[in-house]
Amino acid sequence: MKNRIAFCVSDHTGVTVEAVAKSVLAQFPAFEFSLIMLPFVDSPEKAQAVAARIAATTDALVFSTLADPALRTLLRGSHARLFDVFDLISPAVENVLGQPATPSGGRTHGMANNYELRMDAVNFSLALDDGLQPQRLDQADLILIGVSRVGKTPTALYLALQYGLRVANYPLTPDDLEQNGLPGVLLAHLPRLRALTLSAERLAAIRQARYPDSRYASLAQCREELAAAERLFERHALPVIDTTRMSVEEIAARLRNP
């Protein structure tokens, strides 16, 4: 397998350019890429230093979301193979809209992106994590349910932090699974319930890492719980997402766009 270095250059956090680079490079499985993140390149001095660093690296690929044209010009001084998101996309959008772009670094992830709303949502999701404060479920945008360790908490927090959604999560315990229906506290909120599941083998591996060689982590127990949970989901016609092969980003995207 061939090894290549790819730089991800941004004038802010680098979240966008990293996502773009990973998505594109994943299409070339014959290569193994080492990603080097270079965020907050927001001045000529920083851009020059980055260009010099890249120029000293052989056969580097460079992905950039620098919004300032002057900084992009400095980056081109590295003479590396540069894939600039703005240079590649903005001209086409300008042509369609009939209006030139107005460069402004960091707009995507800046303070204008509802910071207080997102922090409030994070606090809400933490307060209602793992079935806490069920009396506040009527305040939730979404309620994630499923057996223990299917990914409810990280998904709830991701939706809160990225999108400002107030997401509660409620674990289905073995006692809950023995009933003929969902816990009463959830029945009033059926339209906002979203169920998560995954393969028994994956669940057993996750539980084994936390509680080795326990009944809780046994494959038989995992199979039993998942089967009982899926019967409940079907009985109440709940939307179900299988998280076995999904990242938290993918789970969140499916929840936001069912």
CATH of the domain at 42: 3.40.50.2300
Same domain, 155 and 208: yes
pLDDT tens, position by position, 179-211 = 889 999 999 999 999 999 999 999 999 999 999
Pairing of strands 167-171, 193-197: unpaired
Same domain, 239 and 126: yes
The stretches of the chain forming alpha helices (DSSP H) are 15-25, 44-55, 69-76, 85-97, 115-127, 152-163, 174-177, 184-187, 200-210, 219-235, 248-256
Same domain, 153 and 199: yes
3-state SS assignment for residue 59: coil
As for how many domains the chain has, the answer is 2
Longest dimension (CA), the chain: 68
Question: How does pLDDT run across 90-146, given as a tens digit for each residue?
Answer: 888 988 999 988 776 555 544 445 778 889 999 999 999 999 999 999 999 999 999
How far, in whole angstroms, is CA 152 from its chain's centroid? 13
On whether both 137 and 250 belong to a single domain, the answer is yes
Residues 222-250 have a mean pLDDT of 95
What are 82's strand-pairing partners? Answer: 62
CB-count exposure of residue 212 (10 Å: 0-12, 13-18, 19+) = exposed
Residue-range definition of the domain harbouring residue 26? 2-97
Q: For residues 243 and 197, what is the distance between their CA atoms, to the nearest angstrom?
A: 6
Task: Kindly state whether residue 206 falls inside one of the protein's structural domains.
Answer: yes
pLDDT, residue 1, reads: 66
